[in-house]
Amino acid sequence: MWAVSLGLIIGLSLGLTGAGGGILAVPALMFGLGLTLPQAAPIALIAVGAAALVGVLQALRDGKVRYKAAAVMAVAGGITSPLGLWATHFADPYWLNICFAVVLFLVALRMWHQTRKQQSLPMNDTSPLPAKVCVLSPTSGKFIWTLATAITLAGIGAVAGFFTGLLGIGGGFIIVPALAYFSNAKMDNIVPTSLMVIALVSATTVVSAFSHGLAITAPQWLFISCTMLGMVGGRLIAPRIPAPLWQRLFAVVCTIVAVVLLAR
């Protein structure tokens, strides 16, 4: 029951936000299935990566994925994610748990601040938008590639990849706000592009984990399967749920999980 329910919730979260699955998958495995953080990280990556792949396949049909940008971020993340995984073998689990709780708090704060910012904007705001480093062409809807664009996207991917390996989180909590800050892309482009990066970087890290002797039990496989199923549901109902409502709920959940993690 724990594997099924937690898997569905994580997949649903990932499908709705493009950023929330991995950040909750690790504590879900720790609390629900009794794993330690180093044990939970690769299982979470398999679940989140597989679910993200399902979401990407859905979005590719609609032409929403900026796959060249995703490829640049994934290559950079694929280089740094094994470094993060390597660091887990030397880091004290106590400090890894604290680091994870801090990340949860920061994600919750960003989500809550984002909803307040959205509500404070006038309905008919015509003020000019600030200049962005990564710009989508108004005609093709694709990124206009410059050296600054490539460096910025590679930097986002590198940071996300390191945290993917270190904490077993998909990296979407870095990719989604970073793309929103550095580009003029809308969320219907950002979320599926983030999912593609998560799928590719997770695959690189998971291969490294299997090479170090990773073994998966039946309840863990059940968790992975239900996460993929939850992703399908999340992508289907995402257009029907107001973004601020879901973001605030997600922020509250992240805060509660962080407090419980620190209490342990």
pLDDT digits (tens, 9 = 90+) for 44-61: 888 888 887 877 887 777
Token pair listed for 1: 């029951």
Q: Does any domain span residue 24?
A: yes
> Which domain range does residue 220 map to?
2-118+129-263
Structure confidence at residue 38 (pLDDT): 75
Dihedral through CA 110, CA 23, CA 79, CA 66, nearest 10? Answer: -60
Structure confidence at residue 150 (pLDDT): 93
Q: What percent of the chain has a predicted confidence (pLDDT) above 70? A: 89
Q: Does any domain span residue 46?
A: yes
Structure confidence at residue 120 (pLDDT): 55
In the chain, the number of structural domains is 1
Q: Does any domain span residue 233?
A: yes
**pLDDT value at 134 more than 60:** yes
pTM of the model: 0.72
* Bigger pLDDT: 153 vs 4: 153
**pLDDT value at 179 more than 90:** no
User: What would the mean pLDDT of 248-260 be, rounded to a whole number?
Assistant: 79
CB 10 within 8 A of CB 233: no
Q: What is the pLDDT confidence band of residue 22, given thresholds at 50, 70 and 90? A: low
Of the listed ranges 25-29, 80-84, 244-248, the least confidently predicted one is 244-248
Structure confidence at residue 141 (pLDDT): 78
Token pair listed for 114: 């984002």
Q: Does any domain span residue 230?
A: yes
Q: Does any domain span residue 152?
A: yes
Structure confidence at residue 193 (pLDDT): 87
CB 83 within 8 A of CB 160: no
**Whole-angstrom distance, CA of residue 65 vs CA of residue 138:** 16
Q: Does any domain span residue 63?
A: yes
Q: Does any domain span residue 194?
A: yes
**pLDDT value at 102 more than 90:** no
**Whole-angstrom distance, CA of residue 55 vs CA of residue 195:** 7
Torsion 257-86-161-7 (CA) sign: negative
Residue 134 DSSP SS3: strand
**Whole-angstrom distance, CA of residue 115 vs CA of residue 262:** 26
Q: Does any domain span residue 123?
A: no
